Amino acid sequence: HSPRFPTQLTKRVVSLLTVAFISGGILLALEVVWFRLLQLFVLGMSRTFAIMLSVVLAGIGVGGLLGSRWLSVRPSAFRYLPTIALASGVACILAYMSLDIVARAFKGQTAVQWYEILMFCLPLMFPVSLLSGVLFTFLGEALNREVVSGIRSA
């Protein structure tokens, strides 16, 4: 006997899925922009890409853990979804502003060492990635409350 899935999705579920799709698409686009932008300041090599990707994935992972913890303390915290999305946009703008400060410290020199590359990546990528991890966790919780079945919400 196979599980039965609803043939019609509610407006709320479609909205949540749309927000998740758009949020994921924006983060993916930001990763491409970040990688391209940082090539102006760091030596392009596979290690550079690995560091950049590690920062993004660590941010998403830590954000997911923070979001999960927040939900365990305050189960209705997922209602802050719009605020987290706004904070993510503000963090993105502030991150670009911080890039100028980091670039000035290098006085036009290309970052080569792993810790130098990390100095460029962390302020630009980590805050937005962290908030995205919280956002995705909250979207999952909101969807799970609408659909009820964990299998269906996944």
- Each of the 154 residues of the chain gets a pLDDT tens digit; together they read 455 555 467 888 889 889 999 999 999 999 999 988 888 888 888 888 999 999 999 999 999 999 999 999 999 999 999 999 999 999 999 998 888 888 888 888 888 888 988 898 999 999 999 999 999 999 999 988 888 665 565 6
Please check whether residue 136 is in contact with residue 62, taking contact to mean a CB–CB distance below 8 angstroms.
no
CB under 8 Å, gap of 24 or more: what pairs does 100-107 form? Answer: 102/41, 103/41, 106/41
Nearest to 52 by CA among 38, 71, 68: 38
pLDDT score, position 90: 95
What secondary structure letter does DSSP report for 74? -
Residue with tokens 């209705």: 76
pTM of the model: 0.85
pLDDT score, position 104: 85
Nearest to 82 by CA among 150, 23, 146: 23
Nearest to 147 by CA among 30, 19, 13, 27: 13
pLDDT score, position 6: 52
